[in-house]
A = this chain, B = another copy of it.
């Protein structure tokens, strides 16, 4: 473990800046999405954890918009004692913990506009004296299109890559592969949920200077999100579509549900630790469909998307 035993004052100041950044980012993203949609507005639910559990969050949800069928942009600032369940399931060796992050999922109405998910989080673990035992950043963003537009895939990946490259050109290839490996329906021949993006976790600072570097790294990734996603929405939101495209969108959203409920560590951890259900499950799509043994026609636009999920590609 490289993390120093920081005193409570230092760590409190660092946490406060992170919390402030996360709430600010939530405001920025919600404002941009509200402006984009023009019809629906975000509803805000401030919530607190049950008595004896520390913290709460701000869930912001929009639905039935002109462009966005359902979106959740959620923050949480939670802390507490390490429970036996956490020790066992997460191999957490400490006395108490703190976590703060933003998690978002946007499901647009038009099947030509991809669903997107992103998350940026910070976690700290303390010993009995309240000093840091361990801490790390994690996060990422990934795209789930229903129809493939290679230029959109290149734009999304390219924008994320540019941000990572400004820190270290080795990061994108690693975090891109992490993402393909993680968002995989292993029960379906490792079919990926979408066309990926980047995913990283357990970025542990080795010094205070390194912690500041990682903080800036997270900020740059968070700040890059709208630039990576919004131009794609703008470009595709008025594409004409019909029942066929909606049907395929619902089939793929069924796979999205499968991933989130069967494999996603965040969702399962939330369910097992009795988190706020509506905030955890806001990630689920508004509509989903399951058809027995469904396969798109070989060579169709639908099959083209499926093939890049079965065999992830390098986009940039």
The reply on A25 being an interface residue by CB < 8 A is no
Q: How far is the CB of A277 from chain B (nearest CB, A)?
A: 6
Closest B residue to A271 by CB, please name it: B187
Q: Which chain A residues (265-303) contact chain B, with CB distance < 8 Å?
A: 271, 274, 277-278, 281-282, 284-293
Determine the chain B residues whose CB is within 8 A of the CB of A257 once the complex forms. 257, 261, 288
The reply on A65 being an interface residue by CB < 8 A is no
Q: A254-B284, A257-B257, A258-B261 are in contact. Are A292 and B278 (CB under 8 A)?
A: yes
Determine the chain B residues whose CB is within 8 A of the CB of A70 once the complex forms. 290-292
Q: Are A271 and B262 in contact (CB under 8 A)?
A: yes
Q: A257-B261, A261-B262, A287-B288 are in contact. Are A293 and B271 (CB under 8 A)?
A: no
In the complex, what distance in Å separates the CA atom of A285 from the CA atom of B72? 25
Interface string of A50-61 (1 = CB under 8 A from B): 000000000001
Q: How far is the CB of A135 from chain B (nearest CB, A)?
A: 29
Q: Which chain A residues (224-265) contact chain B, with CB distance < 8 Å?
A: 250, 254, 257-258, 261-262
Q: What are 29 of the A-B contact pairs (CB < 8 Å)?
A: A43-B292, A45-B293, A61-B292, A63-B291, A70-B290, A70-B292, A187-B271, A187-B274, A187-B277, A188-B277, A250-B287, A254-B284, A254-B288, A257-B257, A257-B261, A257-B288, A258-B281, A261-B261, A262-B271, A278-B293, A285-B290, A286-B289, A286-B290, A286-B291, A287-B287, A287-B288, A288-B288, A288-B289, A288-B290
Interface size in chain A (residues, C-beta < 8 A): 30
Q: How far is the CB of A217 from chain B (nearest CB, A)?
A: 31
Q: How far is the CB of A239 from chain B (nearest CB, A)?
A: 24
Interface string of A17-35 (1 = CB under 8 A from B): 0000000000000000000
7 A-B pairs with the lowest CB-CB distances in the bound complex, closest first: A261-B261, A284-B290, A61-B292, A278-B293, A187-B271, A288-B288, A282-B292
Determine the chain B residues whose CB is within 8 A of the CB of A287 once the complex forms. 250, 287-289
Determine the chain B residues whose CB is within 8 A of the CB of A285 once the complex forms. 290
Q: How far is the CB of A269 from chain B (nearest CB, A)?
A: 12
In the complex, what distance in Å separates the CA atom of A277 from the CA atom of B294? 12
Determine the chain B residues whose CB is within 8 A of the CB of A61 once the complex forms. 292-293
Determine the chain B residues whose CB is within 8 A of the CB of A188 once the complex forms. 277
Determine the chain B residues whose CB is within 8 A of the CB of A274 once the complex forms. 187
Determine the chain B residues whose CB is within 8 A of the CB of A293 once the complex forms. 45, 61, 278
